[in-house]
Amino acid sequence: MSGLISTSGLGVPSKLVGLTKHTKHPHSPSPVAPNFVAPPVCTNLSFQPIALAAAVARTATTWDDAPKELLDGLQQSALVELETLLDDGNAFALKSYFKFLADTAGSQFAAKVGAGMTHLYMDSLGYEWRANAVCLSSSLDPHADFIYDGGNAAGHGVVLAEAHGSFAKDVTAGKITSAARRKYKKQVKPFIAATSTFGEVIHGYSIAFGSKPTAAGSFLSVSETRISKPRKKSGAAPPAPPGEGRPEGTPAPIVLATHRSNFMLMGVPEVVDWIDWLRMVDGVVPEREPIPLLRLAYAGRTYLTAVPWVRRSGAPPWWIEEFFDHPHWWRMARRGHLPGRHRQAAGLAWFAIEEKGGAEFLNGLSAVIRGGRRQTPPSFLLPTFDPVGFGFVDGDRAVPGIRDEAEGSYDYAQFRDGLALLGDPFRGRPRDVVLWSPEGGVSLGQ
């Protein structure tokens, strides 16, 4: 597995998708969590194509129990389709190639993009951690796709998100809105106030995205749980503070689910093996050999990522000619820019994690491994970050996360949990290589 992917077919201009319709659905009791306040809806979502690529890869790998080899293949196939079928320009549009897909292939691609758009929307709302919602039902009854924690939900419970995508010739704003409402009633509403392995479900969303294959433009519709304003009662006791009775930090199950996907995307399967060992009742103890991680300075930030190449002599992995020939690299040239064989690097992007967020998670994981009892802690206390490369635009106000002119020369996306997809990673400056010891943790030094 490799943390490196191709984004050669993805254009650079930001895309703007406006909210077509926002519908609120009543629920009783309301609110489910007395002190939960839903984030306000915003009318426009702006994103770089690389952010959508990262979101599609993330949602394709949000399966807690699926083998990592399968997930690696799923995310790579999804990204090949995206770079082949997504057109350039500020408006969302599909290339003419889409018409050659069979009906089932077109529907599957639309579903993947719909899931990616849902993740961008939810992350932009402030939700930080995610997992697959399959835990809500052991039967074939339909349920929402994803569970989120963090942001406004922190300390209260988790929220559901159902994703839908449609790229049909007859797609309209009305049909997308109808799909969002229908799926909310069928796949979200029945599970509001239910208990899951990740916490109580306190709120829900159904997000539908659609576009006509023959025209630029798109439709985005959101159905959401309505929260009634509670009546004020004289002499009533003050409400309990958020998270009372809940351990400080984010519940461990959803952190582990998120980082299982993250480190798989980064190409560090050894961390995935340890997460699986911790989450499963039985299984062989993974190898305890230290795992090298590259510290990479990029766009004024420092990231941890997989070491992509080590010379046989054991020398550090710098930007050397042999770097381009690593067999795990998925090399596709961006048109123009670089001469000769160096053109191969221009269309590459690299999954990495913000240094502080990644190191603190790995040290927390090591603390559990040292205990030797295979007991998951109740929570992890981890930093979160403003998104980069996507966010809401509300009138003249741009939410932090939409890349400004100071960052404009770097094409990358970063999510609130610290995972990033770095475009043209060769612009980064390798600082050094650190080792993560499963029992000893990782030391970053200076």
Q: Which ranges constitute the DSSP H helices of 86-183? A: 103-124, 173-183
Given a contact cutoff of 8 angstroms between Cβ atoms, the answer to whether 96 and 364 are in contact is no
- Residue 177: pLDDT over 80: yes
Higher pLDDT, 182 or 76: 182
Which region among 64-78, 155-169, 208-222, 311-325 has the lowest average model confidence (pLDDT)? 311-325
Which region among 18-27, 239-248, 279-288 has the lowest average model confidence (pLDDT)? 239-248
pLDDT given for residue 316 in this prediction: 42
Can you tell me the distance from the alpha carbon of 56 to that of 50, in angstroms, rounded to the nearest whole number? 10
- Residue 246: pLDDT over 80: no
pLDDT given for residue 279 in this prediction: 83
pLDDT given for residue 327 in this prediction: 36
Given a contact cutoff of 8 angstroms between Cβ atoms, the answer to whether 278 and 256 are in contact is yes
Q: Write down the mean pLDDT value for the chain.
A: 81
What are the domain boundaries of the chain?
250-388+420-442
- Residue 158: pLDDT over 70: yes
Most confident of 64-73, 377-386, 396-405: 377-386
Mean per-residue pLDDT for 384-406?
67
- Residue 33: pLDDT over 60: yes
Can you tell me the distance from the alpha carbon of 144 to that of 137, in angstroms, rounded to the nearest whole number? 10
Mean per-residue pLDDT for 413-424?
93
Summarize the chain as % helix, strand, coil (round to 5).
30, 25, 45
pLDDT more than 70, % of the chain: 75
Rg (alpha carbons) of the chain, rounded to whole number: 22
pLDDT given for residue 84 in this prediction: 74
Q: What digits encode the pLDDT tens for the residues 37-49?
A: 999 998 899 999 8
Given a contact cutoff of 8 angstroms between Cβ atoms, the answer to whether 265 and 61 are in contact is yes
Q: What digits encode the pLDDT tens for the residues 306-360?
A: 987 544 344 444 444 444 444 333 332 232 333 333 334 445 778 999 999 999 9
Higher pLDDT, 340 or 382: 382
- Strand-pairing partners, residue 91, are none
Give the orientation angle of helix 252-266 with respect to helix 49-60, to 10 degrees. 120
Which residue, among 189, 204, 200, 64, has the nearest Cα to 134 in the 3D structure? 64
pLDDT given for residue 404 in this prediction: 44
- Residue 289: pLDDT over 60: yes
Q: What confidence tier does 445 reach under pLDDT thresholds 50, 70, 90?
A: low
Take residue 408 and report the two structure tokens written for it: 């404009």
pLDDT given for residue 385 in this prediction: 96
Given a contact cutoff of 8 angstroms between Cβ atoms, the answer to whether 20 and 176 are in contact is yes
Q: What digits encode the pLDDT tens for the residues 118-157?
A: 999 999 999 999 999 988 876 657 888 999 999 999 999 9
pLDDT given for residue 64 in this prediction: 63
Q: Could you tell me the pTM of the whole model?
A: 0.85
Higher pLDDT, 432 or 119: 119
Most confident of 83-97, 246-260, 329-343, 349-363: 349-363
Instruction: Give the CA distances from residue 164 to residues 1, 114, 120, 438, 446, in Å, rounded to whole numbers and listed in that order.
Output: 29, 5, 13, 39, 45
SS3 61: coil
Q: What confidence tier does 5 reach under pLDDT thresholds 50, 70, 90?
A: low
Which region among 97-106, 181-190, 369-378, 424-433 has the lowest average model confidence (pLDDT)? 97-106
pLDDT given for residue 293 in this prediction: 93
pLDDT more than 90, % of the chain: 50
- State the DSSP code for 213: T
Which residue, among 445, 435, 423, 433, has the nearest Cα to 317 in the 3D structure? 433
- Residue 93: pLDDT over 60: yes
CB-facing half-sphere around the CA of 426: CA atoms within 13 A: 13
Can you tell me the distance from the alpha carbon of 221 to that of 177, in angstroms, rounded to the nearest whole number? 5
* Residue where the block lists tokens 């490369």: 389
The sign one gets for the Cα dihedral 239, 245, 247, 252 is negative
Which region among 11-25, 235-249, 374-388 has the lowest average model confidence (pLDDT)? 235-249
Higher pLDDT, 11 or 229: 229
Say if strands 429-437 and 291-298 run parallel, antiparallel, or are unpaired.
antiparallel
Mean per-residue pLDDT for 420-442?
90
- Alpha-carbon 182 to chain mean position: 25
